[in-house]
């Protein structure tokens, strides 16, 4: 049954340590959306932008999702690891 399905668009989905890049495998690079996600929401959730409905009408070539850190309001830890130490204080 799956063999009968016609592929509308194919994407490359790359997950890096601090970035997720989703880009179509075909077409010219015309537009980039850099999306900064919510503190508790998985970056990959934003892949819905490409998955159905109106998303296919938007000629987005790549979506770069940057995973960043500002401050965890739930942690009152005084001895936060220094930035760039490799230890996440969100854990």
Partner 1 sequence: MRRSFDRPHEEIINAKDLKESSADIQKIIDREVKFLNGDGRKVFLGGFAQGSAMALTAGLESKEKLGGIFAVHGYYLSLTEINEANKETPVLVLLGKKPPFRPWDKPDGFYPMFEKTFEGLKTIKSVNTMVEVVDQDVYYDQEFIQKKLVQFVKSSSKL
Rg value, the chain, Cα:
17
| 36 near partner 1, judged by CB under 8 A | yes
Rounded CA-CA distance 35/62 in Å is 11
Site residue total, partner 1 (CB under 8 A) = 35
Strands 62-66 and 19-24: antiparallel
Q: Which of 54, 77, 85, 86 binds partner 1 (CB under 8 A)?
A: 54
Nearer to partner 1, 83 or 91 (CB): 83
Query: Checking DSSP bridges between strand 62-66 and strand 32-36, what pairing results, if any?
Result: parallel
Contact status: 57 vs partner 1 (CB under 8 A): yes
* Residues that bind partner 1 in the complex, under the rule CB under 8 A: 18-19, 29-39, 41, 45, 48-49, 53-55, 57-58, 60, 62, 64, 66, 68-71, 73-74, 76, 80, 83
């Amino acid at each position: 049954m799956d063999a009968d399905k016609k592929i509308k668009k194919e994407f490359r989905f790359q997950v890096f340590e601090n970035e997720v890049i989703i880009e179509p495998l075909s077409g010219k690079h015309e537009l980039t959306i850099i999306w900064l996600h919510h503190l508790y929401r998985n970056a990959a959730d934003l892949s819905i932008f490409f998955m159905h409905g109106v998303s296919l009408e938007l000629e987005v070539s790549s979506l770069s999702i940057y995973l960043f850190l500002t401050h965890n309001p739930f942690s009152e830890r005084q001895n936060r690891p220094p930035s760039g130490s490799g230890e996440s204080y969100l854990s």
